[in-house]
Amino acid sequence: MIKKAMIGLIILTILVVAVSGCLDTGNKNNTTNNNSNLNQNTTSHTNITATQAQELAKKYIEQEGASAGTPQLTSINGKPVYIVPIIYKGKAVGQIEIDATTGQNIGGAGGAP
């Protein structure tokens, strides 16, 4: 009787370990898939680097003494876009939007006085 109980306990332990291992692997796969999707959404069609976007934005700044700030990658209408702030006298006074795929200036707002 004791042997049957021990065999049952061993089988139960093996099943618990097997099931918990399967669940743990599933969570890792889901996390990996979620991270892959996040990275694809952010960088899937990005041909332009942040440094290149900043250099491109400089071409469109007309105010003497204004400069291009640090670009931030975002998405506008599902397309990757760098928002490059225009800095004048230490303050952000506008922005230039650079298409992260083509490098084209697609707009912006504001500007130095």
Quick: pLDDT tens for 22-35: 444 444 444 333 33
Question: Across 15-71, where does the E strand assignment appear?
Answer: 67-68
On whether both 101 and 54 belong to a single domain, the answer is yes
Say if residue 69 is exposed, middle or buried (CB neighbours under 10 Å; 0-12, 13-18, 19+). middle
Instruction: Note down the domain range covering 40.
Output: 1-44
* CATH assignment of the domain containing 69: 3.10.450
On whether both 20 and 68 belong to a single domain, the answer is no
pLDDT score at 43: 47
- pTM to 2 decimal places: 0.59
On whether both 54 and 98 belong to a single domain, the answer is yes
On whether both 31 and 76 belong to a single domain, the answer is no
How many beta carbons lie within 10 A of that of residue 111, not counting itself?
16
On whether both 21 and 57 belong to a single domain, the answer is no
Last residue of a domain, one of 28, 44, 60: 44
Question: Strand, helix or coil at 97?
Answer: strand
Task: Look at 2 and 54; give whichever has higher pLDDT.
Answer: 54
On whether both 9 and 28 belong to a single domain, the answer is yes
On whether both 36 and 57 belong to a single domain, the answer is no
On whether both 106 and 64 belong to a single domain, the answer is yes
For the stretch 22-77, pLDDT in tens is: 444 444 444 333 333 333 344 457 899 999 999 999 999 988 999 999 999 999 99
Task: Look at 13 and 83; give whichever has higher pLDDT.
Answer: 83
How many structural domains comprise the chain?
2
